[in-house]
Chain A
């Protein structure tokens, strides 16, 4: 039983793992984070946006170097070019410098007593008498060695390999992911608004985003439905679909077509449901590894931090009770379902309904609704906006009624 090396081993030093480590260490647990990357925060695979509300709710004082610029609102652009500018509590926030932000979050955990090792890949779980007893870790590509802990946490992000080895169904289908490409570009004159461009030709089952950054820079990215890609064979575009569509958008953009590219990013993000179960005996799964990602915008940082903290609270209880059973850890699932899970379910419904809407419908919707309606929609209050939209286009009731059922 005894002689564990740590009370909890966390796999992955992203926002989920670092947040959990911080709170678990604060609660007196011996924490080790293993991250297989050489450098925390690298490579960036993300648009780097983070809502103000999420940060304020956690009373975090993000140091200057971690964020690039402030966001004052969002501008949503319909296929026909009509736009709605929307400035509200949901749209204020920051565009981060993820490389700095991720490292800072881990440093906070270290200051609370957690340990972290980079270039350290967890290759497998170790079980003893059927119970989780630790992990095998390969450092710098060397032979794996055993490290013992009664609790192992997957904060692995989309890859979620150890989570699957633990028996959780942590994988995504093509339909439930968006595949993304992004450039950091300069110069781009912006008004500190996030810009989102919709349209089947622009980004099928997705959108193009422009996230403003400091010094006239911007993250210009695209995400499209994974099931709509063709991977060069059998489709109508040559090469990787998101990049082809991204380049096409930039060529047609009056300002960006002459801008420089400072960095290439790519990634695949879940826009589906969270995994069915987040815990097993001696095992928890948090953040993007558990597919706790907003299905509308693909944002995962805020949810990762939130569930990391939740999971840490439950882990601390398990630690004092010396009981890391699935039954004990289930409390975290309950907290998820009562809190962020509820909101996510509504967003997933919205995403699925939006998939059924064509460009004409979208143009109509954008012509009809106001920024106040957008706020209602994002808050999950669909009835008012739906009534307005359907009044002018009754045939949309068939699709939109799912939102008000």
Chain B
């Protein structure tokens, strides 16, 4: 799954536009992620012009 550094994010929604599984979208003033959908493909990590997304291990329940 991914983690967003909201201090760096500029809400350009570029990540959402390349996410193949709708695991991220702009809600209110912030990007919101849906970890259960994320397939860790890194498309958002690579495309982010603000360098604010990183891939992290899925938390175990």
Contact = CB atoms under 8 A, between A and B. Distances in A.
B17 A268 contact: yes
Contacts of B3: none
Contact of B51 (A43, A121, A232): A232
Contacts of A270: 17
Nearest to B29: A38
Nearest to B10: A266
B25 A177 contact: no
A391 to B, nearest CB: 40
B19 interface: yes
A159 to B, nearest CB: 4
A91 B25 CA distance: 35
Given A121-B27, A171-B20, A158 B14 contact: yes
A268 B22 contact: no
B49 A179 contact: yes
Contact of B13 (A159, A174, A231): A159
A161 interface: yes
A278 interface: no
Interface residues of A, number: 37
A27 interface: no
B39 interface: no
B47 A43 contact: no
B49 A266 contact: yes
A240 B53 CA distance: 10
A347 to B, nearest CB: 20
B28 A171 contact: no
Which of B22, B29, B48 has the most chain A CB atoms closer than 10 A to its own CB? B48
A240 to B, nearest CB: 3
Given A232-B45, A240-B49, 9 more contacts: A45-B13, A141-B27, A174-B46, A179-B14, A181-B49, A240-B48, A268-B13, A268-B14, A268-B49
6 contacts: A141-B27, A174-B47, A230-B46, A266-B14, A268-B17, A268-B18
Pick the 8 closest A-B CB pairs, nearest first: A268-B14, A240-B51, A158-B17, A266-B49, A231-B46, A231-B45, A266-B12, A267-B12
Interface of A: 36, 38, 43, 45, 121, 141, 157-161, 164-165, 171-174, 177, 179-181, 226, 229-233, 239-240, 242-243, 264-268, 270
